[in-house]
Chains A and B, each alone.
Chain A
Amino acid sequence: MKLILSSIAFLLSCMSYGIALCAETKIEVFPPTAYDQATVYLNLGFFWAGIIGLVILLKLKLRELERTQKMEREEAEKSAPLLE
């Protein structure tokens, strides 16, 4: 039992040393914890929802604008004096 526990402790210390070595060479460019990563991805989802909402709003506004402009044009064409 003592031997197994000491072997596990040895393996764990080797792994942590290995992780420390890797951490030295690779610099974290993204939040490392799972909680922070989940928050970032969630916010990205909210951000896209906002963008899609704004795009739809602008599209509707543009369509309405084009409709009124077309109506104005047709009105102007109708009321234009015709040469006999």
Chain B
Amino acid sequence: MMKWLEERYDLSDLKEFAKKKHVPAHKHELWYYTGGVALFLIAFQFVTGMILALYYVPYFEQAHKSIIEIVTKLNMGWFFRSVHHWGAQLAIGFLFAHLFATLLLKAYRKPRELLWFSGFILMGISIFFGLSGYFLLWDERAFAAVRVATGGLSAIPLIGDTIKAFLRGGIDVTGETLVRFYAFHVCVLPMATLLLLVIHLALVQHHGMSVPISQQGKESRPTPFFPNALYKDAIIWLIVLGIVVTLATLLPPEIGIKADPLAPPPENVKPEWYFLFLFQTLKLFPGDILGLNGEVIAVMLVVLAMGFCFLIPFFDRKSHAGQRSSVFTLIGTLYLAYFIVMTIVGYFS
């Protein structure tokens, strides 16, 4: 195969690049693999999503029925839906792990700012992937969760209502919203993901892996990427694939009652786990704070916190200069602790 290609194309540059590519070896190197696992799971989601898209009907009267038919009538349909569900949960989980590892190891520092920005946007896209995919179920819980999630957007001053109307395709969550979310889920978001992934991976190749400031000078001999690190990646991917398949088999996700836009929302409705920290934050704020709308203040604070996190490479001047910055380690730890604590509180409340 290689000989066949080499007779037709000049692969010497590519071979040279593969030979030179190395992965730094130090005690935090395990975190490098979270990005690879997230990439593997995104690819896995593309494949299982394509199979499901062959049978799903994105029309509000048939959406719920088509999912029931996929699960109950299609050969192995229940399995493909289940692996798509669990693949999404793990992909978002590994993306969060990758993001927090990058934040705490200061891998965002100069010259890797663009890597941080592209990764951060990819994280946001993945969360929207999760929300739009959840809504495609068209069951009462997904319906209520999307109504709450999109409704919260109106608390953003000036542009909130426009974004909300754009996402919903109208004033309220209706069949129009389903069509929009389907278009986002199978067309807009995959295209955006592919584009950003190409940029992100090209930047990784250009800059190489970041070595944490605390490990500089303490590294062992770097590991060749081809094939050593690739074999290690493959081992982890295989284990993750096994976990996804096991979860999909032992814990297939339930299908709720078909959504009725006119029915009251079900009691104790909760969003997916990756939204729980936001959901819990909104619950912390009273309706009225010194005459101002509590929800608006909560949403503004969340937007500010996320904006700060996004722009952190510009604020962390010490890391920029190659020095240890304990203040930003503390900030990163606080972000992580807040996310974990609020998710747990939201889950059990």
**Which A residues are within 8 Å of any B CB, using their own CB?**
25-31, 40-41, 44, 47-48, 51, 54-55, 58-59, 61-62, 65-66, 69
Contact = CB atoms under 8 A, between A and B. Distances in A.
Interface of B: 68, 71-72, 78, 81-82, 224, 227-228, 231-232, 234-235, 238-239, 241-242, 245-246, 249, 252-255, 257
B252 A51 contact: no
B231 A62 contact: yes
Given A30-B78, A51-B241, A65-B227, A40 B249 contact: yes
A54 B228 CA distance: 16
Given A44-B245, A47-B242, A51-B238, A61 B68 contact: no
Contacts of A31: 78
A29 B82 contact: yes
A29 B227 contact: no
B233 to A, nearest CB: 10
Contacts of A66: 228
Contacts of B242: 47-48, 51
Interface residues of A: mostly helix, strand, loop or mixed? helix
Given A27-B255, A47-B242, A65 B249 contact: no
Contacts of B232: 62
Contact of A55 (B81, B238, B252, B253): B238
Q: Which 8 A-B pairs have the closest CB atoms?
A: A29-B252, A51-B242, A27-B255, A62-B231, A30-B252, A44-B249, A58-B235, A51-B238
Contacts of B81: 29
A62 B245 contact: no
Contacts, number: 53
Given A29-B254, A30-B78, A51 B228 contact: no
Contacts of B241: 51
A54 B78 CA distance: 26
Most A C-beta atoms less than 10 A away, residue of B82, B224, B235, B241 = B235
Given A47-B245, A65-B228, A66-B228, A29 B71 contact: yes
Contacts of B254: 26-27, 29
A47 B234 CA distance: 16
Contacts of B71: 27-29
A29 B241 CA distance: 21
A70 B242 CA distance: 32
A41 B246 CA distance: 9
A58 B234 contact: yes
Given A48-B242, A58-B234, A27 B249 contact: no
Contacts of A54: 238
Given A27-B68, A29-B82, A61 B231 contact: yes
B249 A29 contact: no
B78 A29 contact: yes
Contacts of B227: 65
